[in-house]
Amino acid sequence: MSRLLLGVACTVLCLAAAPGHAAAQTPALSGDATLSGLALSGVRLTPPFRSGTTSYAASVRYTVTRTTVAATPSNDNATIEYLDGNGSLLGSGGPIDVELPVGETVIAVRVTAQDGVETETYSITVTRAAEDLSLTPPASDPVAPFASRATYTITFRGAWTSSVTPGGLPGRVYFSRLIGGVHSDAVTFLESGATASSGVELMAEVGGTSSLRREVNAARNASPPTALSVIEGATGSISPTAVRALRNVQLTTAFPRVTLTTMIAPSHDWFVGVSGQLLLDASGRWIRSLGVDLFPWDAGTEEGDDFSLSPSVDTSPRGVITSIRGTGRFTTERIASLAFTLQSVRTERRVPENAPGGVNIGPAVSAVASTGEVTYTLGGPDAASFELVRSTGQLRTKPGATYDREAKPTHAVTVTATDADGPIVTTVEIRVEESGEEPGEPCLSGEVSVGFSLLVAGGGSLERLLECAEGRHLSALYATDSGGWVTHVMAAPTLVNRDFAELFADGIAPGAPLLARSEGPASDDPAPPREPEEGAECLAGEVAPGFTLVTAGGGSLDELVSCAREREISALYALDGGSWVSHVVGAPELVNRAFAELFGDGIAPGTPLVVRRGRHGVGRVRPPAARRGPAGPRASAACICSISSASIRAIEEA
């Protein structure tokens, strides 16, 4: 009996252990709360994802406004929740979209294991870069209260450390030689979203300066010029954290912008810099000091995203200049900076010969942007001959002082403006204006517009003309000589204006036409309408091949055009409220309609015009080549080649 029971018991135990012959046991639940994958669209994680690493950082450029976060659990039965930096739930399960404002965005991925007990949280801090405006120049230059010239020191400071390129600096890294120029708002050498010029391409790919130097010099020699000078640093490379100073960089109120660049090396086409950095404030006064942080840019000319100078394939199709701050190899940290520090200012004034005391000498000498209360003090070798209003900087003649042109044609004083930021000195050259001009005779007749204007000189000395130009808020004057342009830029160095001074060394004839540039304010014509002169030439002035400034003798438009044909003039140009209108001889009526409407009632005697003699090709009028004088700038503002571009295109299409 006991054996039987034992056998049964053994059988039962064996059956219990056999599959299908007993109740199934509950398997243990997984406690795995790790991820096997973590990805953010358009974002590179630092460090690269590993299951055991729970904290990550990432940088993205300004144009990246959102990202898709996708997390994959190591165990399929684990659950995933996405949280923001405050722990609020953003979503669960599958991938989610997250908006990225400028600055830091914290995204947390919380993984809960199948057992509901074990959890793990992965944290990603994404930093979206602020918009980089260093290569987005302002649209236009502000109106300065008067013409002046400023001297700046520009300091480049490298800041290339491991915080800029995580993981350290790759091999031998450096910045190339600095290259750029001083210019006006009429030219842009590089810009975000634009195609790089050959000069920018050479600089960004190999650190070369020759092509960009040529581009700046071409702007200097344009008619009229749009650049003042080339800026170029010392030869040799700049180490990642080195400092380089460019001293005695001169700007004028007609050329108040700086473009300056340097290659990030080694690279295929990366660089840093500023484009059209304006050093006048909104009121047209010089900025004392300015700091600009620099971030990396891609020129869009060559493929490659590594630190290498090895030859690479040109980007095809050609790309555009793009910010790479916070993307690829770079974080959102600055890689360098530029500091602009004002050193001094120079300007000119005129005083009438034998002027009595208490007469204001031009506008107040307040050329520098100031902080808070400002006091002005007078100094310099001739300070005893003048007075200064300490609260405004207004220069005045002094009772008892003598202003004799023959005895002393120029005086030199300094006006020091002192505010909370310290003193800044403006040197003022005061020229004594010759007396004897006919009372009431306008030295420059014609309406002055913001931009270009055609004026007529009243005659007299060059000094009188320049005094009048300053009084009418002109920044530059242009005359023609043998078909080319010569220029006087107000407050520019003597060398810049040498050709103009030589042309009018013996004075300027009454009725001489001039082209002028003004940043404003505009002013009305001070001269009464002229009466026709019997026997006057239909177009006064010797017309040379190229461009020539002339004055009309008056009469009907048909008479004017007939006169132009006789003198082999191919086109006439006039200004209407600062805008050019043209008449191309022999062109269809539609092309010349604006000119015909302007002079529908005839052309007044003494009206200044620009004429063009000679053609290049069929139906095409081209601007003249710049008349080469001494190296240096000649003027500010938009190119004279824009005189007829729209009209000429219409002719070519007709």
| pLDDT computed for residue 441 by the predictor | 55
| pLDDT computed for residue 177 by the predictor | 96
Q: Is the pLDDT of residue 598 over 50?
A: yes
Kindly report, residue by residue over 292-345, the tens digit of the pLDDT. Answer: 999 999 999 988 877 887 766 777 778 899 999 888 788 889 999 999 999 999
| pLDDT computed for residue 639 by the predictor | 32
Go through the chain and tell me how many residues it has.
Answer: 654
Q: Is the pLDDT of residue 176 over 60?
A: yes
CATH number for domain 354-433, candidates 3.40.50.300, 3.90.470.10, 3.30.70.80, 2.60.40.60: 2.60.40.60
Higher pLDDT, 88 or 309: 88
CATH number for domain 149-341, candidates 2.40.170.20, 2.60.40.2130, 3.40.50.10800, 3.30.565.10: 2.60.40.2130
| pLDDT computed for residue 579 by the predictor | 83
Are the CB atoms for 425 and 346 separated by under 8 Å?
no
Q: Read off the pLDDT of each residue in 405-432 and give the average, rounded to a whole number.
A: 92
Where in the chain is CATH 2.60.40.10? 35-128
Residue 224: cis peptide before it, omega within 30 degrees of 0: yes
DSSP state of 46: B
Handedness of CA 485, 488, 492, 494 (dihedral sign): positive
Please state whether 301 falls in left (phi above 0), alpha (psi between -120 and 50) or beta. alpha
Q: Is the pLDDT of residue 34 over 90?
A: yes
Strand-pairing partners, residue 264, are 175
Are the CB atoms for 397 and 358 separated by under 8 Å?
yes
Q: Is the pLDDT of residue 6 over 90?
A: no
* Cα–Cα distance for residue pair 490/518, rounded to 1 Å: 10
Beta strands in 77-178 (DSSP E): 79-84, 89-92, 96-99, 103-112, 119-128, 149-158, 174-175
* Cα–Cα distance for residue pair 392/127, rounded to 1 Å: 48
Ranges 109-123, 386-400, 439-453, 578-592: which has the least confidence: 439-453
Q: Is the pLDDT of residue 626 over 60?
A: no
* Cα–Cα distance for residue pair 429/463, rounded to 1 Å: 13
| pLDDT computed for residue 172 by the predictor | 86
Q: Is the pLDDT of residue 206 over 50?
A: yes
pTM for the whole structure: 0.62
The mean pLDDT of the chain is 84
Where in the chain is CATH 2.60.40.60? 354-433
* Cα–Cα distance for residue pair 488/306, rounded to 1 Å: 49
Residue 211 sits at φ, ψ, to 5 deg, of -70, -45
Are the CB atoms for 203 and 260 separated by under 8 Å?
no
**Residues ≥6 apart with Cβ < 8 Å to 25:** none
- CA-CA distances (angstroms) from residue 537 to 513, 595, 599? 14, 21, 18
Ranges 104-118, 263-277, 584-598: which has the least confidence: 584-598
Where in the chain is CATH 2.60.40.2130? 149-341
Q: Read off the pLDDT of each residue in 616-630 and give the average, rounded to a whole number.
A: 32
Q: Is the pLDDT of residue 407 over 60?
A: yes
Q: Is the pLDDT of residue 78 over 50?
A: yes
Q: Read off the pLDDT of each residue in 128-139 and give the average, rounded to a whole number.
A: 85
Kindly report, residue by residue over 484-510, the tens digit of the pLDDT. Answer: 889 999 878 788 899 999 999 888 988
Domain spanning 35-128: which CATH class is it, in words? mainly beta
| pLDDT computed for residue 10 by the predictor | 40
Q: Is the pLDDT of residue 583 over 80?
A: yes
Q: Which long-range contacts (CB under 8 A, 24 or more apart) does 316-322 make?
A: 318/195, 319/195, 320/193, 320/194, 320/195, 320/196, 321/135, 321/190, 321/191, 321/192, 321/193, 321/194, 321/195, 321/196, 321/200, 321/297, 322/192, 322/193, 322/297, 322/298
The Cα diameter of the chain in Å comes to 158
Residue 439: cis peptide before it, omega within 30 degrees of 0: no
Kindly report, residue by residue over 257-275, the tens digit of the pLDDT. Answer: 999 999 999 999 999 999 9
| pLDDT computed for residue 122 by the predictor | 97
The band of 26, judged by pLDDT with boundaries at 50, 70 and 90, is: low
